Amino acid sequence: MRVQEIMSKEIVTVALDDTLYVVREIFENLKFHHLLVVEHGRLFGILSDRDLLKALSPTLESSAETHADRATLNKRVHQHMTRNPITLRENAPVYEAIRLFNTEPITCIPIVDETGRPVGIISWRDILKMLENMIIKNRCKKNLGCKENKITGNPVLGRDENRGR
């Protein structure tokens, strides 16, 4: 299986000089944990929601907020991003992503084309979803308690005896 089959093609990008105010707005309004930092279409870095939390003052928007706390929102993405992130190409095997997650301190991998332009992103959650689907398909082939989702038509596992529900 190839990375392109399970990666998220929906990516959100920011520029090197965007402010942390812009980044905070994106994270608050979208359900993403990583933003790809792009300049002239090429990937330069990655900024996570954790990077943002580390960069902002803990007293921001509290009764103890000062002018200096508010100024942290004016910091630039390039000051807090991870530069030169580990990447994979679309045609990389999924096991290469798994190897990277197991050997590197990362939670996502940007997927780039041959020119370095981001085309997707893969996270450890994408790997877990893939494994879940593989287990379901395997159980269905063996007729071990799988049924069809009435809405999507996709196979799902029946009641899990191990969860006690």
Residue-by-residue pLDDT tens, the chain, 165 positions: 999 999 999 999 999 999 999 999 999 999 889 999 999 999 999 999 999 988 876 766 667 767 777 777 889 999 999 999 999 999 999 999 999 999 999 999 999 999 999 999 999 999 998 998 888 888 777 776 666 666 665 666 665 444 444
- Provide the token pair at 149: 């989702």
CA distance 52 to 80: 8
Report the number of distinct structural domains present in the chain. Answer: 1
Predicted TM-score (pTM) above 0.75: yes
pLDDT for position 70: 74
- Provide the token pair at 163: 């969860």
Domain enclosing residue 77, as ranges: 3-163
Are the C-beta atoms of 43 and 116 separated by less than 8 Å?
yes
pLDDT for position 59: 65
CA distance 141 to 158: 14
Placement of tokens 């707005």 in the chain:
25
CATH code of residue 16: 3.10.580.10
β-pairing, 34-39 vs 13-14, is parallel
Give the closest residue to 52 by CA, choosing from 29, 30, 26.
Answer: 26
